[in-house]
Amino acid sequence: MDSGWWRPFSKTDPRTPFQERFILRKNSLHDQDNQLDRFIPNRSAMDFNYAHYMLTEGRKGKENPEVITPYQKKLREAVNINDGTRILAFKNKPPTPVELIPREILSPPLQSKLSKPKRSIPQTSERTLDAPDILDDFYLNLLDWGSDNVLSIALENTVYLWNASDSSTSELVTVDEEYGPVTSVSWAPDGRHLAIGLNNSHVQIWDACASKQLRTLKGGHRTRVGSLAWNSHILTTGGMDGKIVNNDVRVRSHIVETYRGHNQEVCGLKWSSSGHQLASGGNDNVVHIWDRSVVSSNSPTNWFHRFEEHTAAVKALAWCPFQGNLLASGGGGGDHCIKLWNTHTGARLNSFDTGSQVCSLLWNKNERELLSSHGFTKNQLTLWKYPSMVKIAELNGHTSRVLYMTQSPDGCTVASAAADETLRFWNVFGNPATAGKAAPKAYNEPFAKFNRIR
């Protein structure tokens, strides 16, 4: 520190710096008493009562009243001042100003933002049904809920229908042993027609309302058909042979396109809501994005994107309902991860380890949430908040891996089927009365006549 601006005080000097400055100022003032030009009164010598009387009441007894000239009188009349009225008065409050524009209009009161009530998520299933002889096979898709509010489930060689409106159950078909077992089911967008994939590589189309088989699609695959996905009048099938086939159900020669990109079984198929992109997952740990504007019959292997970051089979696929280019994929027992993809750019947006096999994925149509079903060790359903992917709830009840999961048409109820041979219904996405309405989707129906309750 520089020594030119600070001087330590002597230990023998009892004064502090502030005391020293005060004494010097006091002495200098004493020397200049004759030069002061300001008087500081002594308040203890003042009579405040007398001063107050002289300011307020003292002039009332004045012997010489004020003389008002004619000019002053006319001036008072012109400005509307009465005799004896003081212009400046300390006792009276100023009049309240008149508001030409109400204050409420200029600055309306801030309305408190209505906070959305927190949704209560039941931790137990709302209903449980028996599902005997359901196949414990990770690569199959044996459960689907149609737009006509009818749920289909395949139990070995038989397909059953459960009507959610009246809780009635009916048997649609039982296939022969040489064709079975049933390996996949999928409702057409009209909610009336059901596609059934078989172990012998055939695909049957049924009219569920009339309980009548309409046709059988052959020649697309050499082995079982484990995955199905509708896109208007196009039924896409995925087989154990690794092929993906687009079938036009309106024409006799139904095979219109064949995609080749997987070298093992195709176990997951999902069309985007726009119908322009198809996501496929396989036992080769690969996810493909196929764009119909890019793929042609001359280049069946020209996929749009190829994702190879999973380390186990990818069956769980789900397109986001509120962001058309967002895809969620889940890996099997050796992967445990859910990954989020931007299918326009091919970028991976997020990846996190769930701790167990991911068997199925569903987006909430009313909230920004993602539901996953799992295998060993907890066999649970887990609800995640998007985009933070924070765990919201964990639903337990199944005692074996939850292989299949589907969603009701109103987007509120989820049905899950597990290897424990039970079918459970969960009110995980809210009540229909309180949930927001999902945006209606425009479908070009593959059939001319159909019934729909929603």
**What CATH code is carried by the domain that includes residue 389?**
2.130.10.10
**pLDDT score at 11:** 43
What string of DSSP letters covers 128-177? Answer: EEE-TT----TT-B-EEE-TTSEEEEEETTEEEEEETTTTEEEEEEE--T
Q: Do residues 166 and 299 share a domain?
A: yes
Question: How many domains are there within the chain?
Answer: 2
Give the Cα separation of 428 and 449 in Å (integer): 33
Residues 38 and 144 in one domain: no
**One domain, residues 64 and 166:** no
Same domain, 156 and 26: no
CB of 400 within 8 A of CB of 420? yes
Q: Residues 152, 141: contact at Cβ < 8 Å?
A: no
Q: Are residues 303 and 194 in the same domain?
A: yes
Digits of tens for pLDDT over the chain (454 positions)?
Answer: 444 444 444 444 444 443 444 434 444 444 545 555 566 667 666 777 777 767 776 555 555 556 677 887 787 777 776 665 666 655 666 677 777 776 666 665 555 455 567 788 999 999 999 999 999 999 999 999 999 999 999 999 999 999 999 999 999 999 999 999 999 999 999 999 999 999 999 999 999 999 999 999 999 999 999 999 999 999 999 999 999 999 999 999 999 999 999 999 999 999 999 999 999 999 999 999 999 887 765 566 689 999 999 999 999 999 999 999 999 999 999 999 999 999 999 999 999 999 999 999 999 999 999 999 999 889 999 999 999 999 999 999 999 999 999 999 999 999 999 999 999 999 999 876 555 544 444 444 444 433 333 3
**CA–CA gap between residue 198 and residue 178 (Å, rounded):** 10
Q: Long-range CB contacts (< 8 A, 24+ apart) of 305-309?
A: 305/341, 305/343, 305/346, 306/261, 307/339, 307/341, 307/346, 307/348, 309/339, 309/348, 309/351
Q: Is residue 105 part of a domain?
A: no
Does 214 reside within a domain? yes
> Is residue 96 situated within a structural domain?
no
Nearest-angstrom CA–CA distance, 72 and 85: 13
147 belongs to a structural domain: yes
Last residue within a domain, chosen from 42, 70, 98: 70
C-beta separation of 393 from 384 below 8 A: no
* Residue 62 and residue 135 in one domain: no
CA distance 312 to 271: 22
Are the beta carbons of 375 and 401 closer than 8 angstroms? yes
Same domain for 49 and 161?
no
Residues 343 and 419 in one domain: yes
Q: Which two tokens stand for residue 410?
A: 């109103």
pLDDT of amino acid 96: 75
Domain that holds residue 267: 131-430
User: Is residue 254 situated within a structural domain?
Assistant: yes
| Tokens 């068997």 belong to residue | 359
Q: Are residues 179 and 46 in the same domain?
A: no
Residue 157 falls inside a structural domain:
yes
Give yes or no: residues 288 and 207 share one domain: yes
d(C-alpha 43, C-alpha 295), whole Å: 101
Strand partners, 228: 237
Q: Residue 320 forms beta bridges with which residues?
A: none
Q: Please identify, among 17, 52, 70, the residue that sits at the C-terminal boundary of a domain.
A: 70
Q: Is there a domain that residue 276 lies in?
A: yes
Structural domain includes residue 284: yes
Indicate the residue type of 284: D
Last residue of a domain, one of 70, 86, 101: 70
Same domain (yes/no): 296, 368:
yes
Cis amide leading into 377 (omega within 30): yes
Q: Can you give the pLDDT at residue 135?
A: 97
Are residues 316 and 167 both part of a single domain?
Answer: yes
